[in-house]
Structure formats: structure tokens, C-alpha cells
A and B are shown apart, each in its own frame.
Chain A
Amino acid sequence: MTTRSRDAATVVLARDSASGGIEVWMLKRIGTLNFAPHAHVFPGGAVDASDSELFPLDGDSLINVASVMDVEPLKANQLMAAAVRETFEESGIVLASNRHPTTWSEQDRQDLLLGRTSIAQLLNREQAHVHSQDLIPWAWWLTPDYVPFRFDTWFFFAPVREDVEPRHVLEGEAVEARWWKVDEALESNRAGQIILLWPTLRVLLDLNQWSSVAEAVSHRPVRLEQQSG
């Protein structure tokens, strides 16, 4: 029997760099993980059961976003909930905060990690909504079939405000986390100083074409196509 792939979401937190160009936030994974040890990655992870709850989305309708992602609305909701959840779990950033300040705590983060609450419940508690402009479907990658851990992964582009600062809170899986200028990350990768998975590299190469987050957003994909890598 072939290995069934798991649905996953990855979030490219992005902001304009003070010195021009775009900065993205990446974590360096520890060396003892089965999947992608030592690699620099964007926050993200697999969909879990709590992500099925429908969460409040402003802006584009769920049906329209699902059409861009080329999935059914139910699955689009799961993937976006996983994106919001993993971003909060790994960076402390609540993507709804861009427009609706929220007060999620370390206790909320622990409750999420232990499955005692869901993203939909936390958003509803704060009467916060995620805006479709803050979580833009960006790319869709399936790990190749020779990789023992298969992830069918939707990448989202998430512009964050200058005053929203992620924190390195992912104990156990990441040794460090920080903002990288896109060209700096590409240069470090060329120099062999950091390891990037192919999809991560492709996202960075794409972003390197644009001089600002706004310019990148104006070139957002109209419809995603699954790529292998």
C-alpha cells in the first residue's frame, strides 16, 4: 500500500525590510527530526481534527478562496484553520490580529497543542475574524512519492504589520527562528550555510522578484496548481 499523504499548511510571514525588499520569518529545524532535519522552514504543520470547525473569514468568501486553492470549501477551511493554528503555535502571532487585536495567551497555546480548544473557538471567543487578505493562497506542493513522509501542503502568504513581532516559541522542534531578508536567505543557501527544501527555495525565488510585500500581493496566484517537490 502506498503511503497516504497528509494535508498540511505552511505560512510565509512576510513584511517589508527597512533596507528594501521583503523579509520572511523562518525556523531552523533541529537535527533529530525525521522530516527535514536542520532545514530552514516556514511555520506550518498537518491539519488536525479541530481544524474542521468553520472559523469566521472576512473579505473573500470561503467558496472563492477554496476555488483559488482548487479544493472544496470544507478542505479550504481546514487548511486555513491549520495555517492560523500552526502560526500561533510556532510564532505566537495571531493572524487575525492584523485587523482585530486579540489577547491570546500562552495558556491558549498550550490548550491548542493539547487539543483542548480549536482555532474557531479562540477566534469566536475574541469575536475576531481572519481576513482573506492576511492569508493568501500562494503555492501547493506535494512531497515526492519516494519521501517516506508525504505532505500535501498549501502555502499561504501572510503580510504582518511592522509592530507584530513573532517569537521563537516552538520548543523541541526548532533551534532558532528569525526574520530573513529574502536575498540574504538565498545567498546563505547558495553558500551552503543553510538548508532549504525545494518548495521553500521556490517561494523565496518568487518573492525575490518583488521589491515589497504589496507588490508581491498584487501578483498573487489566481488558481493554485499542485507541484511535486
Chain B
Amino acid sequence: MTTPESRIAELGMTLPPVPAPVASYVPVVQTGNLVFTSGQLPLVDGALSITGKVGAEVSVEEANALARICVLNAIAAVKAEIGELSRVRRIVKVVGFVASAPDFSSQPLVVNGASEVLSAVFGDKGVHARSSLGVAVLPLDAPVEIELIVEVE
């Protein structure tokens, strides 16, 4: 039986532990059968490997890889809330924020990293609506931040 968890392992990826929030909010809120995550930064063991603006000091390829880390963090947060990822009925919405140099307009190429992971892990349940936004700056000078809305059983 393939599960989202086994697909993550097949892809050589691991779900990180969910970091404690840095202020008075929670990583995940479930309301009805929808789960909303807080915005996830590409933190690995609590640190950012790359900082800066995409299109300036950060390349599209680097930012695309960071988007994958963000979405793994988001998936981990969802799993912490619902237990088994096989309870995910579908990924509803992805919102990706890309800290962008003023003339950078390829935000979708960055957020594609997150969409590809969701598609690989959840198959046709991973098909989602999406917004990719360019912003001036993100917390800790992170290049990418991703949030998810997930429908669960």
C-alpha cells in the first residue's frame, strides 16, 4: 500500500519535526474538514541555508529547492495535526510568497517546486489551486514562504 509517507521516503525526503511557533499563533488550524497551515519558511533544523531576494542574490533554481523545503515543512505540520497523511482528501490551495528583486517576475517557477512535491506525494489528490506572489521581503530575509489549505476526511 503506497501512502503519502511512503512516497516521501521513495523520493529520498524526510518530514522534519514541526517547529514551535515564534509568537502567539499555532502552526495549523483545523476548521470543519479544512486544515490551514501558517506560512512555512524553508527552515532546516531551525536555520535558513539561503537568504535574500530571488532574481538578485538568490537564483530561481535555489528558490525552487527552498519552496520544496517549505512545502515539506507544511506537510509535516499537517501530519502533526491529522496523524496519517492518507487522511488528506485533497490539497485545496497553495499560496507561495517569493521575496523578489524589483524586476523579477518568474515567481511561478519558484513555487513550482512546492507543486511538484505535492503532486509526487499526493498524486491526483495533490492537484491544487495556487497563488504565487512577489513580495519585497519575508521574515528572516527568507527567499520563499509557503502556506497550504488541505481538505481532510
Contacts and interface: CB of A to CB of B under 8 A. Distances in A.
B120 interface: yes
A214 B121 CA distance: 35
A120 B11 contact: no
B139 interface: no
B115 interface: yes
Given A53-B126, A54-B7, A74-B68, A63 B12 contact: yes
Interface residues of B, number: 16
Max chain A C-beta neighbours (<10 A), residue from B116, B120, B123: B120
B10 interface: yes
B10 A73 contact: yes
Contact of B120 (A53, A56, A66, A121): A53
- The prevalent SS among residues of B at the interface is helix
A54 B11 contact: yes
Interface of B: 2, 7, 10-13, 68, 115-117, 119-121, 123-124, 126
A73 B11 contact: yes
A77 B12 contact: no
Given A54-B10, A54-B11, A66-B12, A74 B117 contact: yes
Interface residues of A, number: 19
Contacts of B119: 49-50, 52-53
B124 A53 contact: yes
Chain A facing B: main interface SS: helix
B10 A61 contact: yes
A74 B124 contact: no
15 contacts: A49-B115, A50-B119, A52-B115, A52-B116, A52-B120, A54-B7, A54-B120, A56-B2, A61-B10, A62-B10, A62-B11, A66-B12, A73-B10, A74-B11, A78-B116
A103 to B, nearest CB: 20
A49 B124 CA distance: 12
Contact of A120 (B13, B68, B115, B123): B123
Contacts of B116: 52, 74, 78
Given A50-B119, A62-B11, 14 more contacts: A52-B115, A52-B116, A52-B120, A53-B120, A53-B123, A53-B124, A54-B120, A56-B2, A66-B12, A72-B12, A73-B11, A77-B11, A121-B123, A124-B123
A53 B124 CA distance: 8
A118 interface: yes
Contacts of B117: 74
Contacts of A120: 123
A74 B116 CA distance: 8
Contacts of B10: 54, 61-63, 73
A63 B124 CA distance: 22
Contacts of B12: 62-63, 66, 72-73
Contact of A74 (B2, B120, B123, B126): B120
